[in-house]
Amino acid sequence: MPFIVETIVTTCDENGHVNFAPMGVEWGDAVIVLKPYQDTKTFRNVVATRQAVVNLTDNVYFFAVAAISDPEIPWHPARVVRGAVLDDACSWRELEVLDVDTREPRARVTSRVVYAGFQREFIGYNRAQAAVIEAAILATRVRLLPMDDILAEWKRLRVIVDKTGGPREHAAMDLLTEYVQRAAATQASSERPL
C-alpha cells in the first residue's frame, strides 16, 4: 500500500498561470506519484510542462479554498523547475515528470524529485485540521457521492472543528460548509417534481 500524503500541488500552464490543487500523493524520497483526474488543470499542466511542485503545509485554509475554487495563494518561484512554492509551505518537493499513465480516470503521473526545499518544521495536523482536510475532500465529491452521505459525514466533521479548531480552521470549515449547502440546495431543487 502506498504512503499517501495530503499536499497542495502547484502546476503552471504554458503561459505561467499557477494552479493550486489539494491532492493526496504517493510519497517517496526520490519518486512521487501524482494522481490527478484527467479532466483537471493539474493534469493538463503536468502533461504540457512535465513539471510540478508538491507543497507540505499546515495551513488547511489552502486545502479548503483550493478544493472549491481557483484561488490566488501567495507563492514564490521554485528553485529548479518552472513552478510555484507556497509562501506558507513548511517544505516542498520540485518534480520532473517521468511517466504519465492514463489507463484510469485518475492518471498516474510518476515524477522524480529534483529539489527538496525546507522553510520550517511540519509538526502534523491536529484533529480540527485533519477534519478540514476531510471536509475539503468531501466538497470535491458533491457530484460523485450521495448528498445524504456527505451531509451525515459533514455533521461529524463540523463537531470536531467546532470543539478543537482555531480561527483558521473555523474559517475554512465555514467556507466549505457554504459550498456544500449550495450544492445540496441545487441538487434538491433539481430533484423536485415539476
Identify whether residues 64 and 145 lie together within a single domain.
no
What's 86's domain CATH number? 2.30.110.10
Identify whether residues 108 and 138 lie together within a single domain.
no
Report field, pTM of the whole predicted structure over 0.95: no
Report pLDDT digits (tens) over 8-41.
999 999 999 999 999 999 999 999 999 999 999 9
Identify whether residues 28 and 108 lie together within a single domain.
yes
The answer to whether 20 and 57 are in contact (CB under 8 A) is no
Give the range of the structural domain holding residue 153, as residue numbers without chain letter: 127-189
Instruction: Confirm whether 33 is domain-assigned.
Output: yes
Instruction: Confirm whether 194 is domain-assigned.
Output: no
> What is the distance between the terminal CA atoms of the chain, rounded to a whole angstrom?
48
Report pLDDT digits (tens) over 74-129.
999 999 999 999 999 999 999 999 999 999 999 999 999 999 999 999 999 999 99
What's 134's domain CATH number? 1.20.58.290
Distance CA 104, CA 152 (A): 29
Beta bridge partners, 124, equal none
Identify whether residues 135 and 66 lie together within a single domain.
no
Identify whether residues 43 and 76 lie together within a single domain.
yes
User: In sequence order, which ranges of 34-166 are alpha helices (DSSP H)?
Assistant: 41-49, 60-68, 127-139, 147-164
